[in-house]
């Protein structure tokens, strides 16, 4: 695990935490929360910084508080595929394993709430609420991973881009279905990160975004912003259940 040298550790009370209520600690009783509070540590990582390397020891596990971290695998010849985007409240690391299964990289600046793996595991054994919550979260991750398998295995480049925009848009605007108004939000991640996640090249990402722009489905704003005037129309381009 890299030292976040340029970003010193910070202490924030769990009560005031942004993801309290939807992170691993969501169901904790006050006593459990207190225990977590005692062994936790906030740390920040700069955009692009590695948080862990596949196969290396990873003594710290924990929750993403803010920002986006990517999990990715690299083939021997350098081809890379992102297999998960960790967003605020997601739990990073596998209790019971002391080595990272993937490269973990901060895609944006990331604030991370860390626990020493061993201490956390001990707490996990004593707390059914905590382990039940972990199970639920990992089952959700499994569903997301499988949904992404459909995208990677069967969708066209155009549909992949549209799917990503829809996913971000829903997160951003709380835009469940009847999103009639105009949505505008920052993509946050680079074209390369998008390409790695979508299983295409950065050129294809760029071309498809331009194509959607030319067709009036989206507008590209500065500093990686996008504007979607007709969210339902974009969703139709995403090629289904999403």
Partner DNA sequence: CGCCTCATTGATAACCTTCAAGACCAGTGG
Partner DNA sequence: CCACTGGTCTTGAAGGTTATCAATGAGGCG
Binding site for DNA (CB under 7 A): 48, 156-158, 190-192, 199-207, 209-210, 220, 222, 224
* Selected binder of a copy of itself within 8, 30, 153, 178 (CB under 8 A): 153
With CB cut-offs between 5 and 8 Å by kind, which of a copy of itself, DNA, none does residue 25 bind?
Answer: none
Q: Does 233 bind a copy of itself (CB under 8 A)?
A: no
- Read off the DSSP letter of residue 229: S
Say how many C-beta atoms besides its own lie within 10 A of residue 25's C-beta.
23
Nearest alpha carbon to residue 120 among 107, 106, 133, 139: 133
In the complex, minimum distance from the CB of residue 116 to DNA, in angstroms, rounded to a whole number: 32
Residue 72 CB partners (closer than 8 Å, separation 6+): 80, 81, 82, 83, 102, 103, 105, 196
Site for a copy of itself in 56-95 (CB under 8 A): 71, 73, 75-77, 79-81, 83-84, 94
With CB cut-offs between 5 and 8 Å by kind, which of a copy of itself, DNA, none does residue 201 bind?
Answer: DNA
Q: How far apart are CA 23 and CA 36, in angstroms?
A: 12
Nearest alpha carbon to residue 224 among 166, 165, 167: 165
Residue 56 CB partners (closer than 8 Å, separation 6+): 99, 100
With CB cut-offs between 5 and 8 Å by kind, which of DNA, a copy of itself, none does residue 136 bind?
Answer: a copy of itself
- What residues line the site for a copy of itself (CB under 8 A)? 71, 73, 75-77, 79-81, 83-84, 94, 96, 101-102, 125, 128, 131-132, 134-136, 138-139, 141-143, 145-150, 152-155, 198-199, 239-241
């Amino acid at each position: 695990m890299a030292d976040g040298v340029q970003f010193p550790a910070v202490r924030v009370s769990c009560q005031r935490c942004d993801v309290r209520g939807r992170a691993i600690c969501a169901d904790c009783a006050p006593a459990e929360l207190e225990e977590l509070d005692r062994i936790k540590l906030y740390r920040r990582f700069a955009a692009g910084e590695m948080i862990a390397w596949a196969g290396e020891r990873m003594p710290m596990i924990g929750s993403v508080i803010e920002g986006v971290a990517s999990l990715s695998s690299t083939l021997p010849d350098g081809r890379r595929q992102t297999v998960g985007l960790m967003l605020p409240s997601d739990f990073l690391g596998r209790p019971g394993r002391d080595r990272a299964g993937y490269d973990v990289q901060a895609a944006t600046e990331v604030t991370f709430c860390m626990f020493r793996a061993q201490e956390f595991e001990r707490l996990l054994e004593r707390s059914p609420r905590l382990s039940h919550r972990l199970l639920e979260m990992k089952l959700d991750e499994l569903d997301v991973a499988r949904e992404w398998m459909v995208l990677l295995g069967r969708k066209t480049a155009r549909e992949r881009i549209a799917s990503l925009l829809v996913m971000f848009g829903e997160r951003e605007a709380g835009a469940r279905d009847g999103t009639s108004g105009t949505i505008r939000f920052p993509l946050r991640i680079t074209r390369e990160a998008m390409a790695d996640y979508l299983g295409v090249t950065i050129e294809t990402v760029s071309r498809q975004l331009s194509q959607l722009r030319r067709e009036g489905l989206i507008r590209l704003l500065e500093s990686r912003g996008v504007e979607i005037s007709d969210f339902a129309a974009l969703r139709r381009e995403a090629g289904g259940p999403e």
